[in-house]
Amino acid sequence: MTDYFKHTHALVETENIGVDTRIWAFVHILNGAKIGSNCNVCDHCFIENDVVIGDNVTIKSGIYIWNGVKIENNVFLGPNVVFTNDLMPRSKQYPESFLKTLVAEGASVGANSVIIAGNTIGKFAMVGAGSVVTKDVADYSVVFGNPAKFKYHICECTEKLHFISEKAECSCGKKYIKSLTGEVTRLK
């Protein structure tokens, strides 16, 4: 008896799956993977051993998550997002360890985006559909294109932020400050 839903056509080798997670048809999850509570792993996904997925994560169809990828809580991954984990791949030649990729809390990655290994997508950042992420994406940033480029900052509620004297207040009431280096932080 498990505390999560597994479709009859899913192959789940790990026991590290949280309560109320849903795993749909034609998903294959390897033995070492860790998946949090209340996640939704849609059809035709593959998750390798050295993968950690937080709580409340949505993984839409057609996504393969390779060794070295960590996905924090409340992340949305659109259909067919592509992760890489080896910058110089060769058939039957494996690195001693794979590059680490992080998708931080609350981030959203649009459909058909490519995330190059070793990068971090910051907290509550958004990557536009079809983008190629070749470098880190800062917290609360919207990026898109090939390569993905910064367009503007957003609130956790997704509204565009307008900074005056390095401060912004969203219509939802959340307040932000921008440092001299351009990093955006939500004020408590």
Mean pLDDT of 98-104: 97
Q: Is the pLDDT at 74 greater than 90, yes or no?
A: yes
pLDDT value at 2 more than 90: no
Region 30-43: mean pLDDT is 98
Residue 160 pLDDT exceeds 60 = yes
Contact at 8 Å (CB) between 78 and 58? Answer: no
CB 72 within 8 A of CB 101: no
What average pLDDT does the segment 88-100 reach? 94
Predicted pLDDT at 188: 82
pLDDT at 1: 55
Instruction: Give the list of residues 6+ apart from residue 162 with CB closer than 8 angstroms, or none.
Output: 168
Percent of the chain having pLDDT more than 70? 99
Can you tell me the mean pLDDT for 16-22? 98
Among positive and negative, which fits the CA dihedral 89, 50, 65, 153?
negative
pLDDT higher than 90, residue 52: yes
Does pLDDT of 15 surpass 60? yes
Structure token digits, residue 136: 């880190």
Residue 166 confidence class, pLDDT cut points 50, 70, 90? very high
**Residue 66 neighbours by CB under 8 Å, 6+ apart:** 48, 51, 83, 84, 85, 98
- Provide the mean pLDDT of the chain: 97
85 has pLDDT over 80:
yes
Taking the C-alpha atoms of residue 128 and residue 151, their distance in angstroms, rounded to an integer, is 10
Q: How confident is the model at residue 148 (pLDDT cuts 50, 70, 90)?
A: very high
Strand partners, 70: 52, 102
